[in-house]
Amino acid sequence: MHIVLLGAPGAGKGTQAETLVRETGLLHVSTGDMIREAMQQGTEAGKQAKAYYDRGDLVPDGIIIRMLLDRIAQPDAAKGFILDGFPRNVEQARALDAALTERGGGIDRVLYIKVSREELLDRLSGRWLCRRCGAVYHEKFQPPRTPGVCDRCGGELYQRSDDTRETAENRLRVYFEQTAPLIDYYRERGKLVEVNGEQPVEAVGRDLLAALRAGGPA
């Protein structure tokens, strides 16, 4: 099976990918890891990607797709793959479909872990760290007993710039601008399955596995 896993930052995509891989034996293909591996191995596509990385530019879709096709041609992908981090927009999805079609394949199912914007904001913002021991807190899900003070060592708690609500709002704005059309793209093709990502982690995993085994869109 060829699977695409979609989910906004904070949706729990990484955790669920681990569950799916463990239960199905499919290969987890993270595009970020794939690009770094190709550059380290010095493949032709990796060399091309490195040139863009060194300039601080985004790696073009065509190079990423060539890397992906090379990766899924390896023996450990024989049972199929779960693609995480690509495609990010409709243009990439179309390019991916065309490339897979040329090889006689295609995307079988797109699993979308759906979480409301407010819930995502709560998850992404509100994290605090201890300056002294590094302990992690969350003002809603795991607050310290005394605001601003570490339970473990009494150290001062601080918030990184990327853990603020403003930063989280910007990350989500960019994601939904790019991804909303992509969700519609796969829904129109009968490949999209939406799973409620606001359930307990175990329940989300069960629903994702059920969607794979059902053999069709929700």
| Residues designated as active site | 13, 88, 127, 160, 171
Sign of CA dihedral 216, 29, 87, 14: positive
How far apart, in Å, do the first and last CA atoms of the chain sit?
Answer: 17
The secondary element (H helix, E strand) that includes residue 52 is: helix 44-55
11-15 contact pairs (CB < 8 A, 24+): 11/113, 11/114, 11/115, 11/120, 11/197, 12/113, 12/115, 12/197, 12/201, 12/204, 13/84, 13/113, 14/84, 15/201
